[in-house]
Structure 1
């Protein structure tokens, strides 16, 4: 994994990019620049610009990505097609929020935020300030693929339109019919170890517990040591989001992590203070106390987790697919586990528009028309297929049924690379968050492998049906959500970890709930409910 940048390095690189890619924005300089950009721009066809255009992108990077996007097949090829030279300034996802906020608040931001997970609150705030430019007219004139997609799925426009009526971003959008993509990271367990233990695939939370306990107590990898790790992941969030459905929570999908719709009242409820949520955390605390969760679960990063997986140490995990990130084919994805009260909901389902602010153009961009065209290509079939599959004969072939398949150098790499490691030479979609369109016909990542599709098939009967897209708060509401709301969410996240690891006793639960109320939970829910009511009325 590429080493993390420190803030000073990021600022220096961004500043250098701005000097290279952006001219004056005032007086005659701005007028001349606008005229030059217009004369250089082609409304249709390739190249997009006649004279080379240099742009700088603030870009989120996953541990599975390569360290230089510009060297990959997709971006080298697209540079030649478009005549647009993109410098991708990579920021690891682990530090992305902090670096993005610093860049926006300090004014040291580039031409585009790409794969940078810009949230609705930031889009509203910085859109109204003029940092992010409105895309409504640009989409209408120069983004035919995305315009068509919004017509096909009206919820996209609904989710992208901020309270002031403007669209400031383009999303990462998954085909709503492709459940394996909406699940993204199933709860995987080791089928070979299940067989050795003589156990059936867990169907309940108690059976899952029994499996993890058996893993801890048995030398399943046969090395004479008890080094098996029953469950590991990067943090506890993935497990929380899988298990909460076993207690009847998470009815609205992963788009709203702290609230869902109460099936009895039809109103929003704050799930993190529900008695059933306490029960779920008590279950997770039992796993932690008995050593069934990795002792490094709160600190481990993706690369280290994948290394443990490659060593064959994991009984269960939450990742896109052990086959691609760990080179392990012995895992199966679980369906919805039935909880102690009979609840059986598969709650780990993303919003199809999984990242609202996957692509946002700033006011420092010298040619927004060319930039929107550059992005729109990937919302059409041709561009999306190219983005995910590359070039026929070089990175993929067509089988007898006309299905696209990666070449064997990728799927069975001669140098022993995992599929993701082999793909990183050619592509940058690994790890998610990219703007664009995902459909099964051309997306051949871990989510469409047979093991992932089988997991989705198990999940389907119990999967969240009424997935709520994001709500867009007014500027006043955003202020409340970014102050009271952020404090509440940070406190919940902190206490969630403490309840699980035992540093907070469950005797403190009432105190925890009282603290939430004192922090302004009633106001938080009033704002959330108002946004939900607007959403329902649209």
Structure 2
């Protein structure tokens, strides 16, 4: 009897000793209190009744299916999340992982400060599904000079008909058709078209865009026509040339011409995107800068009975001989791990499990078939209103965005008409690759960027509106040089020689 009791006691002790091993299977702690910051989204107006950010059907499904029942999230504001995160990090409030949407400058700033931990070992051990999805171009955006990777990039997923999506110059096709003119191919032909609009429709603004806070250079699609889709180009002798130095005078001269002839919206410098949309919706603008996400214009026209039609102009011939839109940054979202995290392996396993569980991924992205959406005869998803609208907050919890998942969301979100308009004008999609978007922040930028950019934006705005002459560009560059521009350019040249040229060659294959 005594031996039996001793044997039972030994067995109990062995089981107790094995319990941590059961919890820490494969080196993972399923009980880890993971704290994850998630990006906000302006499309979300709130949670369905009874739901909160940490108690709803989607995060609870993620906890149950992945086994990480102590996952907690904090959703950042949709507007200016960077300021909120900067404040929290400066106070020493570090989560286990930060998942951000399109904040390249945020990543680079803290990479330079050494905040992020490398992810290579965790990915190798626990991220086989992640490895399948991340492209070479995406990995290059988070690679440090030591060759390690300091984030998990989610490759850009917005594609259609075999190409990525971008933006361009939209216009009122119904007005254009009434004018009976040819589609412009050059900046001069675009100018002549705006003059024709002005003559035929004197109460209409021929061209507009949203400078928001006085940023006259915020229109990348039109600015790219003037060769400034990349900050530098490689000269025939292999050295770098600043495209701002080469083409800025041409750009401001053209924009000043539009402005002084009332072809450019006089309020462009400080109007917001909402201000611009209101003008477009009310039929006050002929052409404007925009992308494929402008469904609000079409939807409002349809709901009010306004008979407007919009379309994209094909890309204009560039001053540098290139024609095509600027290629968007190859990363949509990125996971970043502060060095203080204890649970990188667990986070990688959680995301990897999400990606390998099709049922979970489908539920988080679309909801429940029959309740929130239906599948038509062509296999396309169709939303069921108002049930689908009530779960839009699911956007917060999609831990990855595959191309097929994105497309179904685009269909459900009613973005397809504008996507098809873009495809008609840009059948090859955006084609101009800015290799310098892969460059990390360097010390020269940290030291001089703010002062240099302040001078640039001040002068460009004043020249366009006529407060300074076009020749003031020379004075502008002199002041920028005195404030550190040459040091910034030298650092860019050094990066290109060491890394950038090799990346360009690699991606061209």
Give the TM-score band, short-chain normalised. Answer: 0.7 to 0.9
Q: Does 1:135 align with 2:112?
A: no
Task: Tell me the residue number matched to 1:332.
Answer: 311
Matched, 1:66 2:45: yes
| Equivalent position to 2:474, from 493, 496, 510 | 510
Mapping 1:415-430, distance limit 5 Å: 422=389, 425-428=392-395
Aligned partners of 1:313 and 1:41: how far apart in 2?
Answer: 63
Query: Alpha-carbon deviations, 1:475-534, whole Å to 9, x = none?
Result: xx7222211234323432333333333333323111111112222322212211221222
Name 2:350's counterpart in structure 1. 374
Shift of 1:38: 8.4
Residue 268 of structure 1 pairs with residue 240 of structure 2? yes
Partner of 2:93: 108
- Aligned partners of 2:168 and 2:312 also within 8 Å: yes
Change over 3 Å in CA distance of 1:102–1:50 after alignment to 2: closer
1:350 aligns with 2:328: yes
Bigger shift: residues 487-496 or 174-183? 174-183
The TM-score, its normalising length taken from structure 1, stands at 0.71
How far residue 363 of structure 1 moved from its aligned partner, in angstroms, is 4.0
Structure 2 unaligned runs (5+)? 1-17, 302-307, 504-509
Q: Which residue of 2 aligns with 1:124?
A: 111
- Return the alpha-carbon distance in structure 1 between the equivalents of residues 244 and 356 of structure 2: 40
> Does 2:383 correspond to 1:400?
no
Paired with 1:330 and 1:472, the residues of 2 have a C-alpha distance of 40
Q: 2:128 — aligned with what?
A: 144
Checking the alignment, whether the CA contact within 8 Å between 2:97 and 2:341 is kept in structure 1 is yes
2:242 is the counterpart of 1:242:
no
Deviations 1:145-176 (A, max 9, x none): 222234xx333333321123332212231259
More deviation in 464-473 or 139-148?
464-473
Return the index of the structure with the highest Cα Rg: 2
2: distance between equivalents of 1:408 and 1:207?
Answer: 46
2:249 is matched with 278
d(CA) in 2 for partners of 1:447, 1:530? 45
Q: 1:393 to 1:362 in 2, by over 3 A?
A: farther
**Equivalences, count:** 462
Contact persistence 2:292–2:419 (CA under 8 A): yes
Q: Deviations over 1:224-261 (max 9, x none)?
A: xx3657423354667642123433442x5xxxxxx132
Q: SS at 1:428's partner residue?
A: helix
User: More displaced, 497-506 or 63-72?
Assistant: 63-72
Conserved? CA contact 2:227–2:243, under 8 Å: no
Q: Residues 324, 516 of structure 1: CA spacing in aligned structure 2 closer, same or farther, 3 A cutoff?
A: same
Distance 1:219 1:67 in 2: 42
Evaluate the alpha carbon distance shift between residue 179 and residue 49 of structure 1 in structure 2; reply closer, same or farther with a 3 A threshold: farther
Normalization by structure 2: what TM-score? 0.75
Paired position in structure 2 for 1:534: 498
Query: Which string of whole-angstrom CA distances, capped at 9 and with x for unpartnered residues, describes residues 309-354 of structure 1?
Result: 4444432333333652332582112221125x58452232213235
Change in 2 beyond 3 A, CA 1:478/1:245? closer
- Partner SS, residue 77 of structure 2: strand
2-structure distance, mates of 1:188, 1:238:
18
CA distance, structure 2, for counterparts of residue 312 and residue 381 of structure 1: 47
**Higher mean displacement: 316-325 or 158-167:** 316-325
Mark the CA change 1:193 to 1:401 in structure 2 (over 3 Å): closer, same or farther.
same
Task: Assess, with a 3 A threshold, how the Cα gap between structure 1 residues 388 and 228 changes in structure 2: closer, same or farther.
Answer: farther
TM-aligned CA distance change 1:273 to 1:181, over 3 Å: same
Quote how far apart the aligned CAs of 1:263 are. Answer: 5.8
Query: 3-state DSSP class of the match of 2:167?
Result: coil
**Deviation, structure 1 residue 188:** 1.3
| TM-aligned CA distance change 1:519 to 1:317, over 3 Å | same
- Classify the secondary structure of the residue corresponding to 1:436: coil
Change over 3 Å in CA distance of 1:266–1:385 after alignment to 2: farther
1:168 equivalent to 2:145? Answer no
Distance in 2, matches of 1:38 and 1:165, equals 34
How far has the Cα of 1:279 moved from its partner?
A: 0.9
SS at match of 1:148: helix
- 1:233 aligned onto 2:210: yes
The offset of 1:37, in angstroms, is: 9.9
- Residue pair 1:136, 1:167 contacting (<8 A) in 2 also: yes
Aligned to 1:30: none
The equivalences for 1:364-513 within 5 A come to 364-376=340-352, 382=358, 388-402=365-379, 404-407=380-383, 409=385, 422=389, 425-428=392-395, 436-439=400-403, 442-444=406-408, 445=410, 449-460=416-427, 463-464=430-431, 466-468=433-435, 470-473=437-440, 478-513=442-477
Q: 1:472, CA displacement in angstroms?
A: 4.3
Residues 55 and 365, structure 1, Cα contact 8 Å, conserved in 2 = no
Counterpart-to-counterpart distance in 2, 1:447 and 1:262: 41
Q: Which runs of 5+ in 1 are unaligned?
A: 1-34, 221-225, 253-258, 415-420
Residue of structure 1 in register with 2:6 after alignment: none
